[in-house]
Chain A
Amino acid sequence: MNCKLNNGQVAVDDNSIMQRIHDRNESGLSDLIAAYGNQVFGMCSLIAVDTSDAEAVTSDVFLEIWNRPTCFDAQRGSLGSFLLTLARSRSLDRLRARRNYQRNLQNYCDATACERLTWGSSPEAGLVETEDQMRIREAVNQLPEDQRNALQLAFFAGLTHREIAERLSIPLGTIKTYIRKGLLHLRNTLADEFELGGCR
Chain B
Amino acid sequence: MSDEAANRETNNNKMQRANHPDSSRDPISCESVQVLLVEYLMNELEDEPRQRVEGHLDDGCPQCKQQWQHLKTGKGLLLRAIPERELSQELRDKILASAVAARVDCGVPVRTPQVTEVLASGRKPAGRRRLESALLGLAMLACGVMLAPFIAGPRQDGASKIDVASNPPPEEIRVQADAPFGETPRLERSSRRPIAFVAGSADAVYLSMRGEAIFDYAAMQVHFFGSDFPPPPPGKDYVLWLQYQPDGPTHPAQTLQLSGDGRCKAIVNLAENDCYRVFITLEGNGGMPTSPTGERPLLLLQAS
Most chain A Cβ neighbours within 10 Å, of B81, B91, B94: B81
Q: A187 with B85: in contact, given A24-B103, A59-B94, A77-B72 (CB under 8 Å)?
A: no
Which A residues touch B96, using CB under 8 A?
Answer: 26, 29-30, 33
| Closest CB in chain A relative to B260 CB, distance in Å | 27
Q: A130 with B293: in contact, given A30-B96, A85-B79, A183-B74 (CB under 8 Å)?
A: no
Which A residues touch B14, using CB under 8 A?
Answer: 173
Q: What class of interface size applies to chain B in its complex with A? A: 35 or more
Report B70-99 residues with CB < 8 Å from chain A CB: 70-87, 91-92, 94-96, 98-99
CA separation between A11 and B270, bound complex, in Å? 44
Q: Which of B37, B77, B87 contacts A136 (CB 8 A)?
A: B77
One of B3-11, B155-163, B271-279 at the interface: B3-11
Q: A183 with B83: in contact, given A30-B96, A67-B104, A160-B44 (CB under 8 Å)?
A: no
The verdict on B286 contacting chain A, using a C-beta distance below 8 Å, is: no
Instruction: Decide: B74 and A58 in contact? CB cutoff 8 A.
Output: no
Instruction: Decide: B84 and A33 in contact? CB cutoff 8 A.
Output: no
Q: CB-CB contacts of B9-41 with A at 8 A, as 1s and 0s? A: 111101100000000000000000001011101
Q: Taking CB as reference atom, which chain B residue is nearest A125?
A: B85
Given contacts A33-B92, A66-B103, 12 further A-B contacts (CB under 8 A): A33-B95, A58-B87, A58-B95, A59-B95, A62-B95, A128-B83, A137-B81, A171-B11, A172-B12, A174-B7, A183-B75, A188-B70
Which residues of B pack against A, CB within 8 Å? 1, 4-5, 7-12, 14-15, 35, 37-39, 41-42, 44, 70-87, 91-92, 94-96, 98-100, 103-105, 113, 143, 293-296
